[in-house]
Structure 1
Amino acid sequence: MTTDEYDQYGAEEDPYALALRPGRAPVYLRLADGRRIRVPVHRWHEPPTADDETVLERCVGPVLDVGCGPGRLCRELLSRGVFALGVDIAPRAVALTCAQGGLAVCRSVFDRLPAERGWQTILLIDGNIGIGGDPHGLVRRCGRLLAPTGRLVIEAEHEDVEECSAARYESPQGRCGPAFPWARLGLRAVRRVAEDLAFSVTDQWTSGHRRFATLVHTGAGLRSRRM
């Protein structure tokens, strides 16, 4: 992506917005300490992978896909007859999701959302446990969106890490978007957050180089067996 290409689309479109265009150059996360991490944006625009399939098979509708991007997961669920709604703060992400047959709303997960306390599955995939830079606050919010017997499916970092910092999306040429708070959590950290917020980890697994966990409200499994 050249500077001319960037300017063609307008300075208001940071590298994240441009990454939502299929076929774009790589995009990176530049952390506050200077580290640069490549964001797998190619995966956002492709059909669900075998790793994604391990998530999809654990989804019970209705499903809320938080930070849905172009909506590959929620669109796939809809194609299988499972109701799924994406939510993303980027208008382009929502437009792409809907244009390709999905359903999505342009809001923050912390805004008022449809069917609060009615979602059976909430997805935080592609590192979206980092949204807001406050994993405790995000999981607490998702807990208020879940039905009493619902589940929260989280993708963790492959390595054992727990860090919160400012980050920026960056193009290969070093063009940065605005700073935002972000977090990176490995599975151990996800388990600690779950315990702090009265969630139980009922499942955790690795597929390829990706790691995942399923959280439910503590006691939800027992309540569901009694119903």
Structure 2
Amino acid sequence: MQSAPNFAPRSAAAALEDAYAGEPCEVVSEDGTIHALPIRRWQDDADAADHELFVRPCRGDVLDVGCGPGRLTYAVAAAGARTTGIDLSREAVRQARARGANALLHNVFDHLPGRWDSVLLADGNIGIGGDPGRVLRRCSALVRDGGRVLAEVASHGGVERHLLRLRAGGELSEAYAWATVGVGAIGTLATSAGLYVESVASVAGRTVAMLAREA
């Protein structure tokens, strides 16, 4: 008897690899809302808002979490900081290295030697895994005393958790967890991670909270 075909959806990671390689990709939410994944923006050079919100505040040793194709990793390093980017996408890491960034294929929750002066959570990466509290606690453990976590957040609201899918090549991926964190919730999350909100900056419709660790 012939076995039934396997109709299991592809992984979100596989869909993301295709997106970085040039396949058009959309994010599909639980309620059916669809928007394009901004791969092209991530592959471009850092823009003026990136420089104001992330590049200029950085100094010393910098870790870029979820660095993607390395636009910030490269720009921060070019400004004089010792910068390392980490990402789970092989294609993103390849592209980051091709532009001259120091990028590693690595999970932020796995062991990372050393500690950093600044940890970057750009492009909403505070929402990785749908658990921003866990992400911030991990980043807090990675910064030195007196160091900072720079977290890009929504300009308003609290914490919203989502199950999302990626559509690449006309194929829908399995669901993955993500969270959106509004500026109204960042203070409580920071406190639970042993951090405090030092400042909040908004440029060109983007908002970044600078979270400091007590010296």
Give yes or no for TM over 0.5: yes
CA distance in 2, matches of 1:91, 1:127: 20
From 172, 175, 194, the equivalent of 1:176 is 172
Which residue does the alignment assign to 1:103? 102
Structure ranking higher on relative contact order (CA contacts 8 Å, 6+ apart): 2
Deviates more, 1:38-47 or 1:123-132: 38-47
- Corresponding letter in the other structure for 2:171: R
Give the alignment of 1:136-151 within 5 angstroms. Answer: 136-151=133-148
What corresponds to 1:129 in structure 2? 126
Q: One-letter code of the match for 1:169?
A: L
Q: Secondary structure at the match of 1:167?
A: strand
| Aligned partner of residue 28 in structure 2, secondary structure | strand
Cross-structure match for 1:3 = none
- Give the stretch that moved more between structures: 177-186 or 202-211: 177-186
Deviates more, 1:61-70 or 1:12-21: 12-21
- Say whether the 8 Å CA contact 2:55–2:72 is kept in structure 1: yes
2:174, 2:95 → 1: CA distance? Answer: 22
Match of 2:21 in 1: 21
For the 8 Å contact 2:140–2:194, the answer to whether it is kept is no
CA distance in 2, matches of 1:113, 1:190: 25
Structure 1: unaligned runs, 5 residues or longer: 1-10
Q: Which runs of 4+ in 1 moved over 6 A?
A: none
- Is 1:208 the equivalent of 2:204? yes
* Corresponding position of 2:7: none
Q: Please say if residues 197 and 210 of structure 2, whose CA atoms lie closer than 8 Å, have aligned partners that are also in contact.
A: yes
In the alignment, what sits opposite 2:36? 38
Which amino acid in the other structure matches residue 76 of structure 1?
A
Q: CA deviation at 1:48?
A: 0.7
Question: Once the 2 structures are TM-superposed, how far is the Cα of residue 33 of structure 1 from its aligned partner?
Answer: 3.2
Query: What do residues 42-75 of structure 1 show as CA deviations (whole Å, max 9, x unaligned)?
Result: 2111111111011110111210000000001111
What is the DSSP-based 3-state SS (H/G/I as helix, E as strand, rest coil) of the residue aligned with 2:171? Answer: coil
- Tell me which residue corresponds to 1:76: 75
Q: Distance in 1 between matches of 2:35 and 2:149?
A: 25
Gaps of 5+ in 2: 1-9
What is the aligned-residue RMSD (CA, Å)?
Answer: 1.9
Cα pair 2:55 2:79 within 8 Å, conserved: no
Work out the CA distance in 2 between the residues paired with 1:213 and 1:95.
Answer: 29
Name the CA distance, whole Å, in 1 between partners of 2:20 and 2:178.
19
Identity %: 33
Residue number in structure 2 paired with 1:152: 149
Total equivalences in the alignment:
204
Contact 2:156 2:184 survives alignment (8 Å) = no
- Amino acid of the structure 1 residue aligned with 2:72: L
TM-score (normalised: structure 1):
0.83
Q: Is the 8 Å Cα contact of residues 124 and 180 (structure 2) preserved in structure 1? A: yes
